[in-house]
């Protein structure tokens, strides 16, 4: 049986990254985001068909997230070299083009396992998206079948609801009163 994550400290991680411009390798750990909100999302594999729609949509919306003091980190089980190649491949050739956030490599699959989204028999992650608050508490998770992409608008709405500090009814939107 899966253990719940929401309302608990987010599982720690340390991974290699490639910058959103596809030029630099680096590393990232959960503690790097202390004091900021983090949208941490997993996608199955590089060079696939649904994944770039999500990744590029989040990149386009990155300024909206930054305005909410929120960083974005994408991750898959591919290597940083695969990530770099995908970023540096033209969009019209199934590439990503430049992004406004880094991509991390969970090549050991440990982070996907820790977040409860590893499909062990396939060696890939489900589409898991997590919102982690500035103190490192996991506040939200949504996990989709790999055939279905997620919604940037819903992610922004939930983030804003969490940041509002109040009770938010179904379909709450910024500007609505809290319960």
**Active-site annotation, residues:** 51
Question: What CA–CA distance (Å, rounded) separates 35 from 33?
Answer: 6
Could you list the beta-strand ranges (E) of the chain. 14-18, 25-29, 37-42, 70-76, 103-105, 118-119, 124-125, 127-132, 138-144
N residues, the chain: 179
3-class DSSP state for residue 62? helix
Cβ–Cβ < 8 Å for 102, 73: yes
């Amino acid at each position: 049986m899966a253990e719940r994550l929401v309302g608990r400290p987010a599982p720690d991680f340390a991974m290699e990254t490639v910058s959103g411009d596809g030029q630099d390798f680096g590393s990232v750990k959960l503690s790097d985001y202390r004091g900021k909100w983090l949208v941490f999302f997993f996608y199955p594999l590089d060079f696939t068909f649904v994944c770039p729609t999500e990744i590029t949509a989040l990149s386009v919306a990155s300024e909206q997230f930054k305005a909410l003091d929120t960083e974005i980190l994408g991750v898959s089980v591919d290597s940083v070299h695969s990530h770099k190649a995908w970023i540096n491949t033209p969009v019209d050739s199934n590439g990503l083009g430049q992004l406004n956030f880094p991509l991390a490599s969970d090549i050991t699959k440990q982070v996907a396992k820790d977040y409860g989204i590893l499909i062990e028999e396939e060696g890939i992650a489900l589409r898991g998206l997590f919102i982690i608050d500035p103190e490192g508490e996991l506040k939200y998770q949504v996990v989709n079948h790999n055939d279905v992409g997620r919604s940037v608008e819903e992610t922004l709405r939930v983030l804003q609801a969490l940041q509002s500090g109040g009770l938010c009814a179904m379909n709450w939107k910024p500007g609505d009163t809290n319960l």
